[in-house]
Amino acid sequence: MSDMPQVANVRPGFLIKAHERFIALMDKQRFQVVYPVLPMDLLGIYILLPE
């Protein structure tokens, strides 16, 4: 769980690059900034058990 803040700080860069590729394809203006919102929320935990 200690890697979560690091992931939250790195992930916006990937989102910006993906959005820039999308905007280039759509011929629109470039998106400027994405900021992480910390602390991150835990969306779900799945435990798969055999029957």
Q: Which amino acid is it at 27?
A: D
- Work out how many domains the chain is built from and give that number: 1
Q: What is the pLDDT of residue 35?
A: 82
* pLDDT confidence tier of residue 2, bands split at 50, 70 and 90: low
> In whole angstroms, what is the distance from residue 1 CA to residue 3 CA?
5
What is the residue-averaged pLDDT of the chain?
79
Domain range for 18: 1-37
Whether 45 maps to a domain, the answer reads no
> In whole angstroms, what is the distance from residue 36 CA to residue 12 CA?
7
Whether 50 maps to a domain, the answer reads no
Average pLDDT over residues 36-41: 85
Q: What is the pLDDT of residue 38?
A: 87
Whether 49 maps to a domain, the answer reads no
Whether 47 maps to a domain, the answer reads no
Whether 48 maps to a domain, the answer reads no
Whether 5 maps to a domain, the answer reads yes
